[in-house]
Amino acid sequence: MKRLTLLAVALVFVLGLAASASAAPEVVTSGNLLVNAVWKDNWNFKNNGDRNNGKTFTVYERADLYFTITANENLKGVLGLRSSRGEWGEGGFANDVPGDNGNIDTATTLKIRDAYIDFNWPGTAVNVKAGIQPVSLPASIGGGSMIQNARAGAAFVSTAFTDNVSLLAGWARLNNEVNGNNRGDLDAWIVALPLNFEGFSFTPFGAYAPVGKGITYGDVHTAGYTGLAALNGTPADEIDNAYWLGAAFTMDLFDPFVLKADVNYGKVSAEHARSERDGWLFDAALEYKGFDFMTPELFFVYTTGEDGNGTKGNGSSERMPVLKGDWAVGSFFFGGDSITGGSMDDNAAQLGFWTVGLSLKDIQSFAEGLTHSVHFMYVKGTNDKDSFAQATGGVRSGGILYGRTLTEDDHLYEVSTTTAYKIYDELTAYVDLGYINLDAKSSVWNTTAAGSNKGGDAWKFSTGVVYQF
């Protein structure tokens, strides 16, 4: 009997260990390491001795490390770490600094990029994500939303009503203490209704951003939200709230043709009309997927610009307000570079334009694993030239910047290419080339040096490797 008892105890112990082992969560690691060298010339668009690009040659490095911890099909957690985009020879990437415990620099430390819990409510089709996560409004063109496409602390709930109709709703704390005085939160309440049917998808959405009591035009500008700031606002004007409405659309019903489009509208309310801002975006693209060696895409984008109200010096702004967007067509002026550091992306300042372009994407080259993309683009401003009459030094409140913001008298051409070569399945080498010619009206930009703000040629060459694991 004693032996049977000991055997039973041992069996229970072994089964307990087995049960514990089977309940252990599965941990999957992933990430990437990238190194990218960028040569640039005249990114500030000067055509004389005032050319000033800062560093014309820079090598960047960045690391990402992700852990996905899965307990079961209904519960997982995601922890993503990222280093700053460091420059070789500077700060934490300088000689003898990396790994030196006495000289640790934040650029060489991994910091939280994503940290959220992802679970399904028991017995339902309701999914909940809570934590630091990507917060983006729907967009079909540009790789992301121009309004909001960044990471923030948020809680989102989504569910599917049918195979075709879903709902996503949630709240994000975008910024706490905007004015640094323990008040002035900036939040975002977001709702989207994805509709997916055979041949097309349509996702209407809405977002509301209440601004904390006492937050002023000057506060949002100082906090880095120039995309909420009006052209003629004064620092003491209080900001009330902002909202956006829009929809993203994709249709492949007439395959091999694919039609994509977005419509966005946004408005910022304020104490005075001079600090209010509202405007809209429309874009459309037509892809042809009938070739097996490349995908051509024709695109058009229009965003409203400052008009007569801005010219008066006391009226509201007519550019669409934005939070922290990440949007690009082409691969140079608006963004879209292959790795990092190789584009001029500044969506908040660039608003007020229309563009038409052609992209030849994923061109299969002569060698296996070698592909190219080529972009041709014409961009013209939609901002009234008289709106910027008070600009000094090429900079103006409300996110106005020479070489990025275009008036009706300014236009540019872009030709850019991207080449990718898969050295291994996990290792890809990239080469980007880009050329922009800007024709700007120097009288609009109140230049102090004759001819220095009338446009010019800008170039880029970047190359690097990305190891994904």
* pTM listed for this prediction: 0.89
Taking only the tens place, the pLDDT of each residue in 334-361 is 999 999 999 998 988 999 999 999 999 9
- Provide the H-helix boundaries in 259-377: 308-312, 347-350
Tokens of 198: 């055979």
CA distance linking residue 215 with residue 209, whole number of Å? 13
Indicate the residue type of 24.
Answer: A
- Whether residue 149 is contained in a domain is answered as yes
pLDDT value at residue 215: 81
pLDDT value at residue 17: 37
- Whether residue 119 is contained in a domain is answered as no
Total tally of structural domains belonging to the chain: 1
CA distance linking residue 279 with residue 347, whole number of Å? 14
98 vs 175: which has the higher pLDDT: 175
Strand runs (DSSP E) across 3-126, as ranges? 26-41, 57-72, 75-82, 86-87, 111-120
- Whether residue 307 is contained in a domain is answered as yes
Mean pLDDT of 255-264: 97
Percent of the chain at pLDDT exceeding 70: 85
pLDDT value at residue 180: 58
pLDDT value at residue 101: 54
Best CA proximity match to 186, nearest among 157, 158, 153? 153
With cut-offs at 50, 70 and 90, classify the pLDDT of residue 392. very low
- Whether residue 430 is contained in a domain is answered as no
Mean pLDDT of 3-7: 38
With cut-offs at 50, 70 and 90, classify the pLDDT of residue 389. low
Highest mean pLDDT among 182-191, 324-333, 387-396: 324-333
pLDDT at 35 > cutoff 70: yes
- Whether residue 261 is contained in a domain is answered as yes
Taking only the tens place, the pLDDT of each residue in 54-98 is 668 999 999 999 999 999 999 999 999 999 898 998 887 888 777
pLDDT value at residue 102: 55
- Provide the H-helix boundaries in 278-371: 308-312, 347-350
Using DSSP's 3-state secondary structure scheme, residue 273 falls into helix
pLDDT at 388 > cutoff 80: no
Using DSSP's 3-state secondary structure scheme, residue 230 falls into coil
Parent domain of 223:
124-272+303-313
Percent of the chain at pLDDT exceeding 90: 65
User: What is the overall mean pLDDT for the chain?
Assistant: 87
Mean pLDDT of 250-259: 96
176 vs 73: which has the higher pLDDT: 73
Ranking 233-237, 251-255, 350-354 by mean pLDDT, the lowest is 233-237
Mean pLDDT of 357-373: 95
pLDDT value at residue 229: 86
* DSSP secondary structure letters along 104-135: --GGGS-EEEEEEEEEEPTTSS-EEEEEEEEE
Mean pLDDT of 126-140: 98
Taking only the tens place, the pLDDT of each residue in 423-450 is 999 999 999 999 999 999 887 886 555 5
- Whether residue 368 is contained in a domain is answered as no
Tokens of 168: 């996503």
Mean pLDDT of 252-257: 95
pLDDT value at residue 29: 97
Ranking 101-115, 181-195, 245-259 by mean pLDDT, the lowest is 101-115
- Whether residue 41 is contained in a domain is answered as no
pLDDT value at residue 46: 81
CA atoms within 13 A on the CB side of 159: 9
20 vs 235: which has the higher pLDDT: 235
Indicate the residue type of 185.
Answer: D
- Whether residue 236 is contained in a domain is answered as yes
pLDDT at 183 > cutoff 60: no
pLDDT value at residue 449: 53
45 with 90: CB under 8 angstroms? no
Mean pLDDT of 164-177: 93
- Tell me: cis bond preceding 134? Omega within 30 of 0 counts: no
With cut-offs at 50, 70 and 90, classify the pLDDT of residue 184. low
With cut-offs at 50, 70 and 90, classify the pLDDT of residue 13. very low
